[in-house]
Structure 1
Amino acid sequence: MLLKKCLLPLASAAALLCSVQLHADVDPNLPNYTRAPGVSGNLSSVGSDTLNNLMTLWAEEFNRYYPNVNIQIQGAGSSTAPPAITEGTATLAPMSREMRQSEIEAFENKHGYAPYALPVAIDMVAVFVNKDNPIEGMSLPQVDAVFSATRRGGYSEDITRWGQLGLTGAWANRDFALYSRNAVSGTYGFFKDMALFGGDYKSSINEQPGSSSVVQGVSESINGIGYSGIGYRTSSVRALPLAVEEGGELFEPSAENAATGDYPLARYLYIYINKHPNRPLEPMVREFVRMIYSQQGQGVVFRDGYVPLPEVVAARVRAELGIDVSE
């Protein structure tokens, strides 16, 4: 299937992904990972809460090959990643958004070159409701009118009751319990830009420190609604189909709809690394990256509920970093 439209503004790996075939499953052309000799030491990861589970699973997979490597993972939010990699307190900087220009400039001022962005998976930011909520789906203008005070999406009125979204009976007069990530989160910024059209959140939102807290809040509140990465979905919530425009076709947050670009809140997930343009990666980082772009590494992506990347992207990154697939 071909990607119909870019998931994000054209930049680095995202530009390539607008013109390549994507796979909802693991691309069989990805190489198998094989163990390399002489890899040991410590790896540290500081950054995205959305990527926390994925980083943990990658660490476990890496430890199957290298049991003597110690990997420490902190996942407080994407905004913690740039200063950590800039100051050298982290080797890996996972982010659910691209670095801002100011963050790149801070890194460049210290190191003399830009950080390297590894696109590692495709995610879908889902709008979750309680599993007992009968709503069929929402348009982005409706999502905006529920969560934002500014309504830049153009919806005609502020939405404060479920009845305004077509629910009847006992649901008609129920208000919303709004659950959101906090401002340190890349997901918070992505949702603000894409679902709120750059507008402002309502003051009534319940900011949560992590994605699991958002989902838990929605699961415990019959009138709850919140958002997070699709990887945090549980049986206690429903991820709503979304339409780009009012009255438009609804698309489920599925791997296929993310790969085609039909689901409107799909995005790339990244890991930033400190790669000197004229020096090879140190062996431990090189092998961690090589594992991510293998059958095993992208298999972890698939099992964790995200959309794996195709071999054409993996091969491009390996070539840029000077990583030999036969190592």
Structure 2
Amino acid sequence: MKPTEEQCVSPGRRVFLGALGLTAAGVATSSGREASSAGETSAVHFVDALPLYVPEQKVSGTISLWGHGSFKQDFLGKLVHAWAEGFRRLQPHVQFEKKMYGTASAIGALFTGAGNLAILGEDINPAAATAFQRAKGYPPTGVQIATGSLAASFFDYAHMIFVHTDNPIERLTVAQLEAVFGTEHKRAPRNVRTWDGLGLTGEWHGRRIQPYGWKIDEDFGLFFRGAVLEGSHRWNVDVKEFVHVTRPDGSLYEHATQILDALAQDRFGIAISNVRYANAQVKPLRLASRTGGPYYAATEANLIAQKYPLTRIIPAFIDRVPGEPVDPKLREFLRYILSRGGQRALLTQSDYLPLGADAIREQLERLL
């Protein structure tokens, strides 16, 4: 019997979406302003329309996987197991070694030869990419294999921009974000430090914008730096940075919660965080990649289609000598991950989302 849509979605995602009154087909913000239209296709229905994996050649050998995980928490264990077992049913002569000790070790394993496939839990760290380039003389080949989650911890949730609910602004472009959070104005013609610079009038005219965000030189900050600041290291000096704090009772006060708690007390602030940490005094903004839009809310459908500008993408990396073909066993396994079976496993064994149709097509072309 074919599983129902509810059964195909991981328990963690069902619990979280249910608690917020959200559905797998789309997400409504706490204010209800960005409720997804009834016509949006759910992640499950989209995956069901993908083609099944059909081997183009029989392959053999060992795939040594390194990547997202740790000795304490095996974030991708069930997912990688599902991929390996599904693939081996059609390619029984391939063996797997799974050494998911963390994203930080994955690229190093690739260029030293300890592994041949790196699956990261985030975008590649610039330092790791540089180390590979120095060791091999060419960059690693990246292939997108999944979309980051809407709002699940440890599954690359989307970065969202929030303001206080009193703030009348509803949308921003990435260039405007760069003008607020950066200093080199690589996208925008000038820096913006007051709300009238973003078009607000009345009591907002001349009021200084207070930015809140992650620690700028750690994982989340590195993503924002690449996606918004175009790699610039020069942030607005007014950015207030937050890190995880352990309370006296031993509980964790997460940085994303601290950020939105601070914003709730600051009518003139702007913050980077995620909807899972939202409170009644803040609201998320729609974002556009270019001036004039279109503007998109962070919904599962918009993440899958990569329409939302701050969508996180999960990459795999291989060592491919320029001009040479991809190792056949790696090519076939990556083709499986990009097929219906591989993308369905994302929904049943993790809180990641599938890739969109255009992205899958582009990744398959990269493997040729």
Cα RMSD (Å)? 5.0
State the shift of 1:254 in Å: 3.8
Equivalent of 1:85, from 87, 98, 110? 110
Residue 13 (structure 1) aligns with: none
The verdict on how the C-alpha distance between 1:227 and 1:214 changes in structure 2, with shifts beyond 3 A counting, is farther
Say whether 1:143 aligns with 2:185: no
Residue 121 (structure 1) aligns with: 146
Residue 11 (structure 1) aligns with: none
d(CA) in 2 for partners of 1:130, 1:59: 38
Q: Deviations over 1:218-269 (max 9, x none)?
A: 34332475447xxx64262654211345665532234554576654445754
Q: Is the 8 A contact 1:93 1:273 kept in 2?
A: no
**Residue identity in the other structure for 1:92:** A
Equivalent of 1:96, from 120, 123, 134? 123
Say whether 1:308 aligns with 2:341: no
Aligned to 1:26, what secondary structure does the other structure show? helix
d(CA) in 1 for partners of 2:299, 2:351: 13
State the shift of 1:86 in Å: 1.5
Residue 27 (structure 2) aligns with: none
Aligned to 2:295, what secondary structure does the other structure show? coil
Structure 2 unmatched ranges of 5 or more = 1-41, 89-94, 149-156, 245-252
Q: Is the 8 A contact 1:82 1:99 kept in 2?
A: no
Equivalent of 2:241, from 189, 198, 206? 206
Say whether 1:242 aligns with 2:291: no
Residue 9 (structure 2) aligns with: none
Q: Is the 8 A contact 1:291 1:297 kept in 2?
A: yes
TM-score, normalised relative to structure 2: 0.53
Say whether 1:216 aligns with 2:257: yes
State the shift of 1:181 in Å: 5.2
Q: Deviations over 1:92-141 (max 9, x none)?
A: 142525978744532424xxx76332221355953332785755222334
**Residue identity in the other structure for 1:308:** L
d(CA) in 1 for partners of 2:362, 2:48: 11
The verdict on how the C-alpha distance between 1:286 and 1:300 changes in structure 2, with shifts beyond 3 A counting, is same
State the shift of 1:201 in Å: 0.9
Say whether 1:292 aligns with 2:337: yes
d(CA) in 1 for partners of 2:49, 2:298: 23
Say whether 1:43 aligns with 2:78: no
Residue 73 (structure 1) aligns with: 100
Residue 229 (structure 2) aligns with: 196
**Residue identity in the other structure for 1:158:** R
d(CA) in 1 for partners of 2:346, 2:196: 35
The verdict on how the C-alpha distance between 1:120 and 1:43 changes in structure 2, with shifts beyond 3 A counting, is closer
The verdict on how the C-alpha distance between 1:317 and 1:148 changes in structure 2, with shifts beyond 3 A counting, is closer
d(CA) in 1 for partners of 2:296, 2:166: 18
The verdict on how the C-alpha distance between 1:166 and 1:213 changes in structure 2, with shifts beyond 3 A counting, is farther
Aligned to 1:117, what secondary structure does the other structure show? strand
d(CA) in 2 for partners of 1:267, 1:291: 21
Q: Deviations over 1:17-76 (max 9, x none)?
A: xxxxxx973262321599x999999733159xxxx96x456225347658x967443446
d(CA) in 2 for partners of 1:141, 1:279: 37
The verdict on how the C-alpha distance between 1:41 and 1:164 changes in structure 2, with shifts beyond 3 A counting, is closer
Equivalent of 2:134, from 106, 114, 123? 106
Aligned to 2:217, what secondary structure does the other structure show? coil
d(CA) in 2 for partners of 1:57, 1:132: 40
Counting matched residue pairs gives 275
Structure 1 unmatched ranges of 5 or more = 1-22, 321-327
Identity, % of aligned positions: 17
**Residue identity in the other structure for 2:241:** N
**Residue identity in the other structure for 2:123:** S
The verdict on how the C-alpha distance between 1:249 and 1:273 changes in structure 2, with shifts beyond 3 A counting, is closer
**Residue identity in the other structure for 2:355:** P
The verdict on how the C-alpha distance between 1:293 and 1:264 changes in structure 2, with shifts beyond 3 A counting, is closer
Q: Is the 8 A contact 2:59 2:328 kept in 1?
A: no
The verdict on how the C-alpha distance between 1:219 and 1:297 changes in structure 2, with shifts beyond 3 A counting, is farther
**Residue identity in the other structure for 1:140:** V
The verdict on how the C-alpha distance between 1:306 and 1:174 changes in structure 2, with shifts beyond 3 A counting, is farther
d(CA) in 2 for partners of 1:64, 1:168: 62
